[in-house]
Amino acid sequence: MDNLLRVTIKAWAEADRPREKLLERGRRALSDAELLAILIGSGSRDESAVELCRRILHDRGNDLNDLSRLSVAELCRYKGIGEAKAISIVAALELGRRRKEQKAEERPVLNSSQRVYDHLEHVYRDLPYEEFWVLYLGGGCRFIAKQLIGKGGNDFTPVDIKQVLRLALEYRATGIVLTHNHPSGSLKPSTMDMQLTKKLTEAAMLFDLSINDHVIFTNAGYYSFRDSGLL
């Protein structure tokens, strides 16, 4: 093809540009070459980023596992691939490899107060002030993420209900476990603890989310709203 007929990604119809295509249709709509093109950003004067990535993949039999074995120096042999672009490709493929290696146990099932306590006990151990952590769970109560929502003094932690729910939607969680600690050692929920739990439970229902539990941590043990029949 005549080089003059080649066009850059920016000159394509918007629906065909990899970045715009990802935003519009989602990551699964992109080919491997298009995803790689997003990583490198641009091609060479002779070919677009997508064409360059198609050529690289073709040379590796369209096998991402084979591509991941290439070194930075080997990738740099392709015209249009400099060291920075090669490093981006190597880093992205390494992240994919590590993701595949992660075991299911690293995303435990937190379907009981004891499991929640065991999962977070090290976070709260010996804290001289209150912190409020939220656990976000997927199907089957499998752990997705935890977030520190607030920290305060000895007997109060500010909690932004909107932030708790916004993060749940971002993580596409189905269940939420509220947790905080009592540095005083008291295992009795305060009036504010009760009011906050009620507000969050009612707000979560509007988004078809479930507050699975609210667990209060101390160095001596824990208190579960669910176990106590309050949820």
Both tokens assigned to 24:
């519009």
Q: Which of 181, 196, 182, 186 is nearest to 123 (CA)?
A: 181
Residue-level pLDDT at 37: 93
Both tokens assigned to 158:
């500010």
CA separation for the pair 60, 89 (Å, rounded):
14
CA separation for the pair 64, 60 (Å, rounded):
8
What pLDDT, in 10s, does the model give residues 139-185? 999 999 999 998 877 666 789 999 999 999 999 999 999 999 999 99
What pLDDT, in 10s, does the model give residues 71-127? 999 999 999 999 999 999 999 999 988 877 666 557 899 999 999 999 999 999 888
Residue-level pLDDT at 4: 40
Both tokens assigned to 178:
């509220």
**Chain centroid to CA 217: how far?**
25
Per DSSP bridges, beta strands 221-224 and 210-218 are: antiparallel
Share of the chain above pLDDT 70, in %: 89
Residue-level pLDDT at 3: 47
What is the sign of the dihedral through the CA atoms of 68, 69, 74 and 79?
A: negative
Contact predicate 200/161, CB 8 Å: yes
Strand-pairing partners, residue 109, are: 142
| pTM across the whole model | 0.60
Q: To which residue do tokens 């093109």 refer? A: 37
Residue 14 pLDDT class (50, 70, 90 cuts): very low
Residue 111 vs residues 94, 164, 229: alpha-carbon distances, Å: 32, 20, 16
CA separation for the pair 197, 3 (Å, rounded):
64
- What is the chain's mean pLDDT, rounded? 88
In order of their start, the domains of the chain are 3-102 (no CATH), 106-224 (3.40.140.10)
Strand-pairing partners, residue 148, are: 133
Per DSSP bridges, beta strands 221-224 and 175-181 are: unpaired
Contact predicate 67/57, CB 8 Å: yes
Residue 191 vs residues 88, 188, 194, 203: alpha-carbon distances, Å: 52, 10, 5, 18
Both tokens assigned to 165:
């729910």
What is the sign of the dihedral through the CA atoms of 202, 160, 135 and 127?
A: negative
**Chain centroid to CA 189: how far?**
31
